[in-house]
Structure 1
Amino acid sequence: MKFMHLADAHLDSPFQGLSFLPSNEFNDIKESTQKSFTKAIDTAIEQKVDLVLIAGDTFDSVNPSPQSQLFFNHEIKRLTDQEIQVVMILGNHDYLNPEEMILPQTPYFKLLGSDEKVEEAQFKTKTGFPYTVVGFSYQHNHIETDKISEFPKKSNNFTFGLMHAGAKTTDAHQNVYAPFTVAKIKNLNYNYFALGHIHLRQSLSEDPLIVYSGNLQGRHINERKAKGVYLGIVDETTKKINLDFVKTAPIIWQMADLELDHEISQSDLTRKIVDILTRKNTQKTLFGLTISGAQYLSEKELELVNDSDYWLQLSNSLNFDSRLVKVYLVNNEKLQLKSADKEAFNQAESETFALEKIYSLANDLSKKSDYVADLLKKPEFIEEVKELSQVKLGQKLKDMDDETNSN
């Protein structure tokens, strides 16, 4: 038996933060989610799989465009026309009412657990190998209960678990996506547990296999690693699984690093950035750039490297239509403050950047945007805000000091 495990296609993803790009390039990037999905379907057909498991968040929101729904149906029809079984669940982004969705009407397509209850479905391959798929779909943005306790005991069939969920953590804000423990999933002893929701490809357990396939196409700079699907081959006698990863993303994200140890002219700064990006540019890439030693940049240079028009001009020197789309600044110098000022600064920093404070300030915005809500849960985002604040404050203090010394 052959199967494919895919998740988090996020069709209609807005790719926020890239609207400064020329419209034709921005549209090409937006189409990358569909291109990656098509690549997955192409692979499933070429490999003649028996089963495709779709582990949630196929669409980026509960209001998918008609075009993306028709696209999805067209791609799924390509599978079902080949009598490839498709079993799908809905995630926390696409918790749509199934009655309002355009879904394939064929026995080779199954939306599992559409009422948010765990459902068990039995199937057979063309050669008669029996297997079971167990899972559930979201009907709300959040599920705070541990759904694993609702999963039935494994039958004699080869059994797949299918779930869109996050591992239970000590942070209550995180435990809203059907929180689970690996130990409880392992106790089910299913042959393969296909997970969605976390975009980083990873195996939580090798025996039995409990796997996140990751998303099909990286959507921002923190989704840099290879993106794609898992292809599994089951030995029908031993029930052992051989698992291979297949890349699907037409565009990759990469980080580049520039470290400054002295003041630098704008022309030399530009040359260094282009050289660094060119060395890493082997395919169509969206680059993020970290500039360490930002204290050596003048106010004008800080303004320059934060200007998206400057990024576009730099990118004209790159191959494969690659683009610089984000710059991060890191100040290697600690702020020079008097002891009393430093104490006040540290207190203000701890109060300002406390997670509870940030969640409170962004509460209204996060309710309107799943993207913002997800962003606020990422520690690296909070660190970026802190770093930028320190760079800006350090530059202001430096300007004040220079002004004082010149008088």
Structure 2
Amino acid sequence: MRVPFRFIHAADLHLDSPFRGLSKVPSAVRERLRDSTLTALERLAAAACRDDIDFVVLAGDLYDTADRSLRAQLRMQKAMERLAAAGKQVFAVHGNHDPAGGRSARLRWPDTVHVFGTEEVGCMPAYTRRGELAAHVYGISYGTPSVRDNLASQYALRAGAPFHIALLHANVDGQEGYDDYAPCRLAELAGAGFDYWALGHIHDRRVLHEYPHVVYPGNTQGRSIRETGLKGAYRVSVAEGGSIDLDFFGLSDVLWLSCEVVAEESDGEQRLKDKLLDAAERARREADGRPAVVRLRLSGSGALLERLLRDREAEAWTAELRDWLGAPDERDDWVWVERIVVGTRRAALAGGAVEDGFLGELLQLAASASAAPAASRELLDEAAEPLRRHPRLRQWLDGQDAAQRAELVARAGQLAAVLLSEGGE
């Protein structure tokens, strides 16, 4: 007999993520970011205890590294004990960032917590707070950081439960921008007989299919400018008749935001300052009481904008803008400008004006390469080959992901267009 129940589906907590590159930011920003993934976990546990929730499922990458930090493990233990005291079961799998083979502290976990093993897909009963059988929960953990096998093909229903939840850390249909771990197809999941696929690995929330539901909740806290907006988890309500309702709720302690600013030909320094400040205040309102790390994307046309692009004046504007917005330790809803990225309309116009010339060809190459991960890697590797002789620069180049490589190529194309259209070398 099916009974109504509710559970929380979360994934990709990445507890104690190091947030590299923060050495030059104020301590208030640095410490808030370093604690943000742990604060999101506390909010997750509080929501499960406060709301009418029967159990929690965690779909991998609970920790940020295989050799997880002691602080992260102790905070996780504290959250699990809090959930156990409230009578909430927890079911979890490990993903590519926190494979089961990583180093772990010898800690005691509540009996209400079940972490699935790595050898085969396990199955566990999940109960309502009243003790009624709500569902079977299935899962398998990564034993190593790189799992290329189709784990979904190993899942099979087991009789005896009115509802079936499959917990899986995987890339469904080769979602772009993410490693193709445990690859599988959406059609395969939809036809496997499960009622709900609780997925992890993709850091954006996505409902890939309904009835059966195939769902990514995204991560619980953004960790870079590539993970913008409010992050959180889903409350999943299952009615007696089998209908499913998804309710997303935010857990982010700090928001990462990207804001567009458009400059006109006639804009001078004061007008530009006003526009940048207005964009920062828009970001503050969007964050709705939370602190925010903001990237301002400045585009348009005019000599002032081209000077920012050519002479690296954007760095000076960034420093002044941070000063105008005030110290982060003076208010809780602070805004920290991560950087100002400059592009120009003139670069695009130049490409159209000389479509058959060298500049047009260069711009077309930059545009096509920035849109294709493999092409941007090839172009960047070729252009930066002389730099690879320097160990630290080589390490930095190798550490760029697809989005960062694309941005570097696009910005190089814009700068080249400005310089070449002026007759520069």
Shorter-chain TM band: 0.7 to 0.9
Cα offset, 1:129, TM superposition: 1.7
8 A contact 1:305–1:311 mirrored in 2:
no
8 A contact 2:11–2:217 mirrored in 1:
yes
CA distance in 1 between partners of 2:409 and 2:98 (Å) = 32
Which residue does 2:166 correspond to in 1?
161
Question: Structure 1's 175 and 397: CA in aligned 2 closer, same or farther, altered over 3 A?
Answer: closer
Question: Structure 1's 79 and 387: CA in aligned 2 closer, same or farther, altered over 3 A?
Answer: same
Question: Structure 1's 11 and 339: CA in aligned 2 closer, same or farther, altered over 3 A?
Answer: same
Identity level (%)? 24
Cα offset, 1:395, TM superposition: 3.5
Provide TM-score, normalisation by structure 2. Answer: 0.82
Residue of 328, 333, 336 corresponding to 1:323: 336
User: For 1:153, what is the secondary structure of its paired residue?
Assistant: coil
Which residue does 1:122 correspond to in 2?
125
Cα offset, 1:99, TM superposition: 6.9
Q: Unaligned 5+ residue runs, structure 1?
A: none
Q: Cα RMSD over matched residues?
A: 3.3
Question: Structure 1's 6 and 104: CA in aligned 2 closer, same or farther, altered over 3 A?
Answer: farther
1:269-319 deviation per Cα after TM superposition (whole angstroms, max 9, x unaligned) = 222210222234223222121111266325367522234533422432997
8 A contact 2:32–2:254 mirrored in 1:
no
1:36-87 deviation per Cα after TM superposition (whole angstroms, max 9, x unaligned) = 1101100000114221101111111113221111111111111112231111
Question: Structure 1's 22 and 316: CA in aligned 2 closer, same or farther, altered over 3 A?
Answer: same
Residues 76-115 of structure 1 correspond to what in structure 2 (within 5 A)? 76-97=80-101, 100-113=104-117, 115=118
Q: Is 1:310–2:314 an aligned residue pair?
A: no
Q: Is 1:391–2:421 an aligned residue pair?
A: no
Residue of 253, 272, 281 corresponding to 1:250: 253
Question: How many positions carry a matched residue from both structures?
Answer: 395
CA distance in 2 between partners of 1:203 and 1:228 (Å) = 14
CA distance in 2 between partners of 1:355 and 1:137 (Å) = 29
CA distance in 1 between partners of 2:8 and 2:222 (Å) = 19
8 A contact 2:157–2:164 mirrored in 1:
no
Q: Is 1:288–2:295 an aligned residue pair?
A: yes
Residue of 143, 148, 155 corresponding to 1:151: 155
Cα offset, 1:202, TM superposition: 1.5
Cα offset, 1:322, TM superposition: 1.2
1:144-187 deviation per Cα after TM superposition (whole angstroms, max 9, x unaligned) = 2211110013524121100111112398x966311111111111
User: For 2:207, what is the secondary structure of its paired residue?
Assistant: strand
Q: Is 1:333–2:346 an aligned residue pair?
A: yes
8 A contact 1:295–1:394 mirrored in 2:
no
CA distance in 2 between partners of 1:240 and 1:225 (Å) = 29
CA distance in 1 between partners of 2:47 and 2:366 (Å) = 50
Question: Structure 1's 348 and 287: CA in aligned 2 closer, same or farther, altered over 3 A?
Answer: closer
CA distance in 1 between partners of 2:92 and 2:412 (Å) = 44
Cα offset, 1:12, TM superposition: 1.7
CA distance in 2 between partners of 1:66 and 1:131 (Å) = 33
Q: Unaligned 5+ residue runs, structure 2?
A: none
Q: What letter matches 1:42 in structure 2?
A: A
Cα offset, 1:387, TM superposition: 2.4
Residues 323-402 of structure 1 correspond to what in structure 2 (within 5 A)? 323-334=336-347, 335=350, 339-342=356-359, 345=362, 349=366, 355-356=373-374, 358-359=376-377, 361=381, 376-378=401-403, 381-398=404-421, 400=423
CA distance in 2 between partners of 1:267 and 1:344 (Å) = 36
